[in-house]
């Protein structure tokens, strides 16, 4: 049991750090990120909505918040639920944009968040395990 708790904590922290570093890279090279988004939106057929295109530049900031909260262990369950929606949407969007490599990467992130959410009973090393959400603020 102790090994599983430490393994869960290690995976949660490493995945959070990966998301923070990926988001920081996209923010540092933000103009390149925006050019990639524009290129993806020119190829889409199903997800070609203006409100999605308007919200797309916020993805690195969402990844940064999700990664930070995962690495620190705050609101783990809620953050994982939000990450599942984000990564599943990005995986389907990138399939529509004809980018299977990036879609596979985001599908992998989706699977990691799904496993972390399913195995949440090992989340004993998190800051929000024994407290209510309103006490964390």
pLDDT for 13-68, tens place per residue? 999 999 999 999 999 999 999 999 999 888 888 887 888 888 889 999 999 999 99
Q: What are phi and psi of 46, to 5 degrees?
A: -85, -45
Please give the pLDDT value at position 134. 52
Residue 136 has pLDDT above 70, yes or no: no
Helix (H, G, I), strand (E, B) or coil at 137: coil
Mean pLDDT across 62-90: 92
Please compute, for residue 88, the number of CA atoms within 13 A of its CA located in the half-sphere on the CB side: 9
Please give the pLDDT value at position 125. 67
Please give the pLDDT value at position 132. 53
Please give the pLDDT value at position 128. 61
Using 50, 70 and 90 to split pLDDT, how confident is the model at 130?
Answer: low
Average pLDDT taken over every residue of the chain: 87
| Count of structural domains, the chain | 1
Range of the domain at 9: 2-136
What's the predicted TM-score (pTM) here? 0.84
C-alpha–C-alpha distance, residues 86 and 9, integer Å: 22
Token digits of residue 73? 């262990």
C-alpha–C-alpha distance, residues 41 and 21, integer Å: 24
């Amino acid at each position: 049991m102790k090994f599983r708790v430490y393994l869960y904590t290690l995976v949660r922290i490493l995945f959070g750090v990966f998301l923070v570093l990926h988001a920081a890279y996209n923010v540092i090279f933000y103009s390149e990120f925006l050019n990639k988004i524009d290129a993806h939106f020119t190829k889409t057929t199903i997800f070609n909505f203006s409100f999605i295109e308007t919200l797309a530049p916020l993805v690195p900031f969402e990844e940064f918040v999700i990664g930070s909260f995962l690495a620190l262990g705050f609101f783990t369950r809620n953050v994982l639920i939000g990450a599942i929606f984000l990564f599943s949407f990005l995986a389907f969007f990138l399939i529509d944009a004809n980018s299977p490599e990036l879609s596979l990467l985001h599908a992998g992130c989706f699977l990691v968040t799904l496993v972390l959410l399913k195995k949440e009973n090992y989340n004993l090393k998190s800051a929000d395990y024994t407290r209510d959400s309103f006490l964390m603020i």
